[in-house]
Structure 1
Amino acid sequence: MKKLLFLFSLAISLVLLFASCSSDDDAKSNCESCTSSDGTLYELCENADGTYTAKQDGEVTAIITEGELEGFTPKEVVELTCELDGGEITF
């Protein structure tokens, strides 16, 4: 009986060892993006330090702070940039 209990405990331990939580998954991107009518891809990605990386067609164009968003959400900034086909996201 002790052997069976040991094997059962070992099996449970192995299952728990290889189980994962949803928080263990790869970090999801905190980026807002859109493609303008001329085909330009604009992205604004939140960094872990309270700044945002602005990209145009995959190239970094600026690092901006939350204060530089001037009350707009990152999504609003990207959407406005796409609507205006405004070149780089700059502040």
Structure 2
Amino acid sequence: MKKLSLLLTLTLGLFIASCSSDDDSGSKNNNCVTCEIELFGTVNTTDYCDNGDGTVTVTAEGEEEVVDLEGATFHQFISAFEQLGSCN
């Protein structure tokens, strides 16, 4: 169930981020943001760190995964999660 929640979070975030028209070409390298999103009655806390190369390191429940932003900026990626929960 934990992996399913992470997969749904990542998939939804990438889908929304790829549809965004915002541009933040000056994103900072190694910028990290923590987001809390409620899915299926459970609050999921995930850390997202901009690698500065078009990828993000996602850390959830002690597991790390590198995700390709597929052309979206880090700002667009995080903005998608801000619409679903709170990020700081």
Name the TM-score, length of structure 2 as normaliser.
0.40
Structure with greater Cα Rg: 1
Structure possessing the higher relative contact order (Cα contacts under 8 Å, 6 or more residues apart): 2
More helix by share: 1
Name the TM-score, length of structure 1 as normaliser.
0.40
